[in-house]
Amino acid sequence: MNPYQCYLHTWYSLFPQNITNKKYVYQINIIHIIGVLLIQVGPLLPPKFMPYYIIYLAILLSSYALLNNKCFMTVLSNHVSHNNFQPLCFTLNNAQYIMIALIFYAILCIIYPKYSLFTIIASS
């Protein structure tokens, strides 16, 4: 699937047209997008915030384990909409590997704050 097709698939999965409870599904999925953005912006946070970032990622990974490799926000959205949408274009296993790598990165930022992206960007 090319990037544009992936974008369209994700968009129509997060904001489907013909569903029940559309207003609530859209609200849930906007919060979902904010959560995903936090995952992506997290590596740019100052080292003092990395423990909170690690906790956030650990909670997400734990929820995947509890929900059989499903995101709790997707499960909630699907429950409210009475549908079964999967917004990711890649497997959740890949997302889990990325989050585990981000946890290791965050730990390194706590141990060696001068090598964090925030410190490198702020000092240049």
Tens digit of pLDDT for each residue in 13-46?
A: 889 888 989 999 999 999 999 999 999 999 999 9
Token reading at 45? 């946070």
Region 37-61 average pLDDT: 96
Q: Whole-model pTM?
A: 0.86
Cα separation, 81 vs 25, in Å, equals: 6
**Helix-then-strand count for the chain, H and E:** 6, 0
Query: In the prediction, which pLDDT does 84 show?
Result: 86
Q: Residue 58: which pLDDT band, with cuts at 50, 70 and 90?
A: very high
Three-state SS annotation for 31-44: HHHHHHHHHHHHHH
Tens digit of pLDDT for each residue in 62-92?
A: 998 899 888 899 999 999 999 888 877 777 7
Query: In the prediction, which pLDDT does 114 show?
Result: 95
Query: In the prediction, which pLDDT does 4 show?
Result: 85
Token reading at 114? 């001068």
Region 45-50 average pLDDT: 97
Domain residue limits at 63: 3-123
Domain count along the chain: 1
Region 48-75 average pLDDT: 93
**Can you state the angle between helices 72-81 and 22-41, rounded to 10 degrees?**
170
